[in-house]
Amino acid sequence: MIKFQVGYETPFWREAGLSGFVLSLDDAFNVAFDNSPSDGSCGVIVGFLEGAHARTATGLPAEERHKTVIDALVKYFGPRAAEPFDIVEQDWMAEEFTRGCYEGRLGAGVWTQYGPALAAPVGRIHWAGAETSDVWNGYIDGAVRSGRRRSPRASRPFRRAAARSTGSPSAGRPAAGSRCGCCPTASGTGCC
């Protein structure tokens, strides 16, 4: 997958009553969205080359990839799309830790059937990350939510060890009246 952000002086497609959203079955650059700032200070279309289209394009010079993108945008939005002030691309296949995409996609029914197993601890290993989130799965928002969900549970053994080593039952515990975030008690009593 290769992601492109194409910048224009204005979100000119809006003047024609267009949303900036594209889903095409005919073009290599086949998914696009209006990603312009809310104040309209410039226009930005974000879109993707995916699958075989991305694998083919990754071997081309940047100018040829950009021409593929611009040609498609001209087809979708008219001749004004031929004049962006900037094109920024991210080739996810070139990234060491993603190797191809910005998110992991599960097949139909996999998340609803096996989702809880993706986030379940295995011994002392606690899983967190974008793909383990039940909200915004696969995106940075999901990764943050997952980390917040998992961190209190993962740190519980360390808080217990701190209490044992200091002899203080409150060492590593939340302040009185507050919660650690992982225990269901409203008062915090017996928390962790």
Q: Quick check: 137 pLDDT over 70?
A: yes
pLDDT-derived band of residue 13, with 50, 70 and 90 as boundaries?
A: very high
- Three-state DSSP class for 82? helix
What per-residue confidence (pLDDT) applies to 187? Answer: 47
Two tokens, residue 192: 């962790």
Check: pTM over 0.85? Answer yes or no. Answer: no
> Rounded mean pLDDT of 12-38?
94
Q: Quick check: 192 pLDDT over 50?
A: no
What per-residue confidence (pLDDT) applies to 191? Answer: 47
With vertex at residue 13, the alpha carbon angle to CA 90 and CA 92, rounded to the nearest 5 degrees, is 10
pLDDT-derived band of residue 135, with 50, 70 and 90 as boundaries?
A: confident
pLDDT-derived band of residue 168, with 50, 70 and 90 as boundaries?
A: low
What per-residue confidence (pLDDT) applies to 167? Answer: 62
What per-residue confidence (pLDDT) applies to 165? Answer: 67
Q: Quick check: 130 pLDDT over 90?
A: no
Per the model's pLDDT, the better-predicted residue between 36 and 124 turns out to be 36
Q: What letter would DSSP give residue 106?
A: P
The amino acid at 99:
R
What is the number of helices (H) and of strands (E) in the chain? 4, 5
- Give yes or no for a contact between 50 and 68, defined as CB atoms under 8 angstroms apart: no
